[in-house]
Amino acid sequence: MAARRIIPCLDVQGDRVVKGVQFKNLQDAGDPVTLALAYSDQGADEVAYLDISATLEARRTFLGMVERTADVVTIPLTVGGGVRDVQGFRDLLLAGADKVAVNTAAVVTPDIIGEAADRFGSQCVVVAIDARRTEQGFRVCTHAGTRLTELEPAAWAARVEELGAGEILLTSMDADGGTAGYDVELTGLVADAVNVPVIASGGAGELRHFSEVLARTRAQAVLAASVFHYGVFTIGQVKTYLQEQGIEVRVVESEQEEG
């Protein structure tokens, strides 16, 4: 089995990183390529970009920045945000993304999953699922968390797997933006419902949050943003901590270990 993965995520508008907390209150901060390289050096297993560009112009700029990233970053790159159709998939893959994530589009037009998987391979297709607690139980949200659906996340996850998704990025909308930890219950439900890898997202604040979700659920990977962007701890520190907890992670090789 592969080592568990630590994935920093950058919210990007055009070619700039924005440190957002909940899709509001945006603060400009830095060049995505520089940050992606820094995270790669720190031992990140992959890096993710969430495109929150609002205009067509910003989207074009974003694509150019993906190209620059692919030219220099030597770990896998997942890109998501506003992907509406297979053409959008294609544009991002050709620009150098290794995986493309779809969220709302998967709910609105589920056919996009199978179409993308058939054309590009399911390992390129990530379905992002945002979910929150309601009185009826967990429900999937779309449109950047603003619209609630009737879909139950574990059932939806199983469905997208059937349709051809190669991986699921699961974000708890209750935990996201806060630092009280990943939603272990939600993550466990979804990870048990599918056989594709599941990435847990939303809520990381302390080192123990990483081991909690990885030890108590079958999530294969964790995604985090603020804790890394604000330098609360480094990816190396997270990996050292996880190793001490007996969770297998990839330790970045030093110069001497080639060959």
Residue 51: active-site member? no
Token representation of residue 121: 């391979």
CB of 174 to another protein, least distance (A): 26
96 binds another protein (CB under 8 A): yes
Which residue, 38 or 144, has its beta carbon nearer to another protein? 38
Residue 11: active-site member? yes
Residues numbered 163 to 192 that lie near another protein (CB under 8 A) are: 166-167
Catalytic one among 15, 45, 130, 176?
130
CB of 45 to another protein, least distance (A): 6
Q: Can you tell me which of 25, 55, 84, 94 binds another protein, judged by CB under 8 A?
A: 94
The residue count for binding another protein (CB under 8 A) is 42
Residues numbered 25 to 84 that lie near another protein (CB under 8 A) are: 40, 45, 67, 70-72, 74-76
2 binds another protein (CB under 8 A): yes
Q: Can you tell me which of 54, 55, 84, 121 binds another protein, judged by CB under 8 A?
A: 121
> Contact positions toward another protein, by CB under 8 A?
1-5, 40, 45, 67, 70-72, 74-76, 93-98, 118-124, 166-167, 195-197, 218, 220-221, 250, 252-253, 255, 257-259
